[in-house]
Structure 1
Amino acid sequence: MSQGFCLFDTAIGACALVWNAERLIGAQLPEQDEARARQRLARRYPEAVESSPPPFVQDAIGAIMALLRGEKRDLAHLPIEMDGLSAFNRKVYAVALSIPPGETLTYGEVAARIGEPGAARAVGVALGENPFPIIVPCHRVLAANGKTGGFSADGGVETKLRMLTIEKARTSDVPSLFESLPLEARRR
């Protein structure tokens, strides 16, 4: 079965999608430049050929671009290929897919939701292996106490924070300046 890929511009830079005949098999966050993006795609998907995206990929591109412009878009409906992934990773990705834009969970909360409350580090490893960043929103999973945790995309934690900022996600339990005002003052 042939594989295709395409690069497309978003608010955070050029992203890429890789697909087979029916499903997305990979997504890539921006690299420093197009040459590096193509090199990474060639390493990860050596059989993929740059192609015009079929309709289901065009729909995915539109949804990703909208999300990265700040629109509240749920990408869980996009067809992704998870057959070759471990059962643990599929469970972690299912929980990540359930996190709405603008919200976050901790690695420990994800571990608890899959029935393995002591597996926060394993959740982090699974998210680091995520072949569908943005679609499976690993950027919405934080370390305990509002700390960012890691992020394997180019730009690392800075890219993660940028995506969370676009989504207007809270990354801490500390109230914002506005939220710390008494309710009466907020109503003025």
Structure 2
Amino acid sequence: MDLLLDEVESPLGALLLAAGGGAVHGLEFADRAPRLRASLAARYGAVALRSAADPYGFSGRLRAYWRGDLGALSGMPVEPGGTPFQRRVWAEVQRIPPGATRSYGEVAALLGQPSASRAVGLANGRNPVCLIIPCHRVVGARGELTGYAGGIERKRWLLAHEGASGEAGARLLCH
């Protein structure tokens, strides 16, 4: 498979964006490039990444998000692969608007599987398209900032950037 690759600067470090066929197949912080490559290889086998500036306009939308246009990533087409359950989790996570959070248990309940909060957490942790599938908006049962592949400090920054409210927002102010 051939994909286009762009490096997009952000306040949290560069991001690597892999796109093809009009969809984002991977988005990961550059310091986690091996994770991106492993995810793509697991889904497609051999992947050729060709450098491209702003494939499909996606890089521009990421830059708009960093400038404060929190809706810029909404509706971006993604192709994350994954199991049927993972895809359901990721689709539900995409419904969480900027500035809001949901607990793993809340996401599980929304999926009609209230006892599946751990499975939701595992699926969330395997998200290959960070930010667009906003896994940073999923928090612990009491609003605590838990588990983010890019690191808790990045999660805290992203939630503050989006104006997170509720318990998660309050915890941002305490740390």
What's the TM-score once normalised by structure 2's chain length?
0.83
- Where does structure 1 lack aligned partners over 5 or more consecutive residues? 177-188
Mapped partners of 2:169, 2:52: distance in 1: 46
The residue aligned with 2:49 is 49
The gaps in structure 2 that reach 5 residues or longer are 42-46
Structure 1 residue 158: Cα displacement:
0.9
Task: Identify the residue that residue 149 of structure 1 maps to in structure 2.
Answer: 146
2:14 is paired with a residue whose SS is strand
How much does 1:60 deviate? 1.8
Highest CA radius of gyration, 1 or 2? 1
**Change in CA separation of 1:121 and 1:74 when aligned onto 2, cut-off 3 Å:** farther
Task: Tell me by how many angstroms 1:44 deviates.
Answer: 4.0
**Contact 1:11 / 1:69 at 8 angstroms: preserved in 2?**
no
Contact 2:6-2:59 within 8 A present in 1 as well: no
SS at match of 1:115: coil
Number of residue pairs aligned between Structure 1 and Structure 2: 166
Query: Aligned equivalents of 1:43 and 1:86: distance in 2?
Result: 16
**Partner residue of 2:44?**
none
Tell me the SS of whatever aligns to 2:68: coil
Change (3 A) 1:77 1:159: same
What residue in structure 2 maps to residue 117 of structure 1?
114
| Letter in structure 2 aligned against 1:63 | R
User: What is the TM-score of this pair, normalised by structure 1?
Assistant: 0.78
TM-superposed CA distance for 1:53, in Å, is: 4.0
Within 2, Cα distance between the matches of 1:66 and 1:43? 28
Q: CA RMSD in A?
A: 2.3
Q: Give the residue type in structure 1 aligned to 2:48.
A: A
CA contact (8 A) 1:74 1:101 kept: no
Q: Secondary structure at the match of 2:167?
A: coil
Name the aligned partner's letter for residue 137 of structure 1. P
Identity of aligned residues (%): 37
